Amino acid sequence: MTPLVRSVRSADTLTRDALTVLQPGFTGTTAPDWLLRRLGEGLASVGLFGRNVADPAQLSSLTEQLRAEREDVLVAVDEEGGDVTRLEVRGGSSFPGNHALGAVDDTTLTREVARELGRRLADCGINLNWAPSADVNSNPANPVIGVRSFGADPQLVARHTAAYVDGLQSAGVAACTKHFPGHGDTAVDSHHDLPHIAADLATLQERELVPFRAAVAAGTRAVMSAHILLPALDGERPATLSPAALHGLLRAPAAEGGLGFDGLIVTDGMEMQAISATYGIERGSVLAIAAGADAICVGGGLADEDTVLRLRDALVRAVHDGELPESRLADAAARVRALARWTRSASAGEGAAPAPGIGLTAARRALRLTADGRYEPLTAPAYVAAFTPLANIAVGDDTPWGVAAELARLLPGTETATCTAESAAAGPAALIDDLLTAAGNRRVVAVVRDVHRHPWMAEALRTLLAARPDTAVVEMGVPQSPPRGAPHIATHGAARVCGRAAAEALTGLTPANGGEHLRAP
């Protein structure tokens, strides 16, 4: 009988470990019964998304519900601030994103912003944040990183990544620095396909890896892997599934050219096409754990019990079939539990003092205004033309952006029109004629987002400025194109506070570019 008892215990432990390494999502603003049941069986992490958040009170009740089932559960969220927000998915973020903080280049400010964001997360019961993005924005055509990066200079990105990690974790929330080993030099979105980075190892060491080394030195508790193929590391498998990338580079000691990271390695979402379309999520999850990952992020798109059971069973089966060493799965589960212990001890501290205005302060400081001579501020209702690109999946299309709402608050009667690639299909002349007819005698404010990446947007803007040279231009993406407009304002992001800062500058109500008020001469 003794061997049979040992076998049952071993099977139970194996199943619990397989559940422990999953970070699934769910639908709704309360936890479903199946999720609570799996928490009792070993599930140790839950990922929250915008669909799970109504307001802070509801979010706090939800996390209390999860902790009533498992006190040490890791509750994770993708809250970068800026363009990528889950806490304020329907209203826009109270914090500018990384690109704005990099534009200011004040690490004390970055630390304070991250600390306040962490404090708000902790107040709602969230203890793991899938942030910050440590990607170096080295490819201007990047469709998924852009303003999520602190900038194009590795050293700047490194110092702000470290400051962000320090600020967030000082509030008791574990940082998960992403997307290792760097998603900045891609022209493909890994939500849709598998990006390739052709950089050699020396370039990776001098560019992509610099911020991740800084994050490890700053004590980041977790690192998220990227679904990108880097032949310099592994010509066959993307980083998430590559032992060379995870075990051989991220975990390897510094003396061997690695980063010496000993915390939790989390995968990016496994249902992203870069993995699911090539390997499938079950096979991909097995390969990821075998390669050195410790936690499987899934739930952005697949958010049901069946997904959890499929992945649990795939991991257990892989151990039985000899594809995945049981010791590797046990080690991964142990790292998840170790992070849970850290969050409990960190949250037991004194907590961070509130700094409710720090996000707007940062957004105002990030504003960059270019004008020929003195700018005549808006004093009457304007007409806002929002040139709107297709949102990437990380940002989503549920979060409002732009300056129209904030400008209408300051100048009641301001109206807005949305212009898309589809509406520009008949040609820029027709689009702009219709827009100017609707605007009438009102000043036009053109709002663009990464105009350098969208030829239709650039052509429409040129046509508009030729017809109405007094048009003000607000760039809310990466300000890569030469500034044009009367004036041109770069916000370095599309968070709600960035829109407010731009609206204030357009009306001459607040300092811009370090303190000079914008007023009529």
- Catalytic positions are 191, 268
CA neighbor of 207 nearest in space, from 246, 151, 248, 255: 151
Please report the DSSP string for 400-437 in residue order. Answer: --SSHHHHHHHSTT-EEEEE-TTTTTT-HHHHHHHHHH
CA distances from residue 447 to 2, 133, 387, 422, 509 in whole angstroms, order as listed: 72, 25, 6, 17, 19
Q: CB neighbours (10 Å) of residue 4?
A: 8
Burial of 116 (0-12, 13-18, 19+ CB in 10 A): buried
Element (H, E) at 63: helix 56-69
Q: Where are the beta strands (DSSP E) in 97-140?
A: 128-129
H or E element, residue 326: helix 326-347
Contact 210, 158 (CB under 8 A): yes
How far are the Cα atoms of 184, 368, 488 from residue 502, in angstroms, in the given order?
Answer: 27, 9, 10
Supply the angle between the helices 33-41 and 2-20 in degrees, to the nearest 10.
Answer: 130
End-to-end CA distance of the chain: 93
The CA-based angle 387-390-394, given to 5 degrees, is 125
Side chain identity at residue 386, one-letter code: A
